Amino acid sequence: MTVPELTLLVIAKEPRPGRVKTRLTPPFTPEEAAALAEAALADTLDAVARTPARRRVLVLDGSPGRWLPAGVEVVPQCAGGLDERLAGAFAGCDGPALLIGMDTPQVTPELLAVDFADCDAWFGPAADGGFWALGLADPDPDLLRGVPMSTPHTGAAQRRRLDGLRVRDLPLLRDVDTARDAAAVAGAAPDGRFAARLARLTAGRR
């Protein structure tokens, strides 16, 4: 199997004030937090657009905006908790798929170009105890349903669901949840839109 057979999935919320990155407020206003979320999503989708893949799909809660690049399909998220929405994203795939969120704008095409030739799954742990990426050679939504989300043990619980599969691990990445996270992630990817937006917002506070 070659890398271009891959489906890349991004699950995200439309970056609207009050609906995204609420843990960034304070110190940022809801409008500033939404602007940071938009920049993070744009960086993420740019990396996805530059990664060889058969399909690139944004699984979106909301409506697409100017940040959507060409070549990315948009499908709505299904109803339910985050586990159900992640499961629903995989349910729409008919071959190997890698799912990521909008919280890791430091992601690169090199990280996303996974190959399932010698494994059944890829797992990307997050520094907060969750996970930033999950790849499945044979997408099975039941591998996600019922996993407790948004806890310090979510990543470990999801990793246990992969027991019995041949799993390869991606590097640990940090999600953008708090202002401290934002500064660290911007430092890891200083040339991206997210870092530039954060620099403009923080410069205005000096």
- 3-state SS string over the chain? CCHHHCEEEEEEECCCCCCCCHHHCCCCCHHHHHHHHHHHHHHHHHHHHCCCCCEEEEEEECCCCCCCCCCCEEEECCCCCHHHHHHHHHHCCCCCEEEECCCCCCCCHHHHCCCCCCCCEEEEEECCCCEEEEEECCCCHHHCCCCCCCCCCHHHHHHHHCCCCCEEECCCECCCCCHHHHHHHHHHCCCCHHHHHHHHHHHCCC
- Write out pLDDT tens, residues 102-144: 999 999 999 999 999 999 999 999 999 999 999 999 999 999 9
Is the pLDDT at 2 greater than 70? The verdict is no
Write the CB contacts of 183 (distance below 8 Å, at least 6 apart in sequence): 198
Average pLDDT on 68-83 reads 96
- Write out pLDDT tens, residues 83-107: 999 999 999 899 999 999 999 999 9
Please report which confidence band the pLDDT of residue 1 belongs to, taking 50, 70 and 90 as the band edges: very low
**CA diameter of the chain:** 53
Structural domains in the chain, CATH included, are 3-203 (3.90.550.10)
Strand-pair category, 55-61 with 7-13: parallel
Please report which confidence band the pLDDT of residue 205 belongs to, taking 50, 70 and 90 as the band edges: low
Average pLDDT on 26-50 reads 97
- Write out pLDDT tens, residues 6-18: 999 999 999 999 9
Tokens of 191: 């040339």
Is the pLDDT at 206 greater than 60? The verdict is no
Task: Report the percentage of the chain scoring pLDDT > 90.
Answer: 95
pLDDT at position 95 is: 93
- Write out pLDDT tens, residues 146-166: 999 999 999 999 999 999 999
Is the pLDDT at 80 greater than 70? The verdict is yes
Is the pLDDT at 204 greater than 90? The verdict is no
Q: Are 171 and 124 a contacting pair, CB within 8 Å?
A: yes
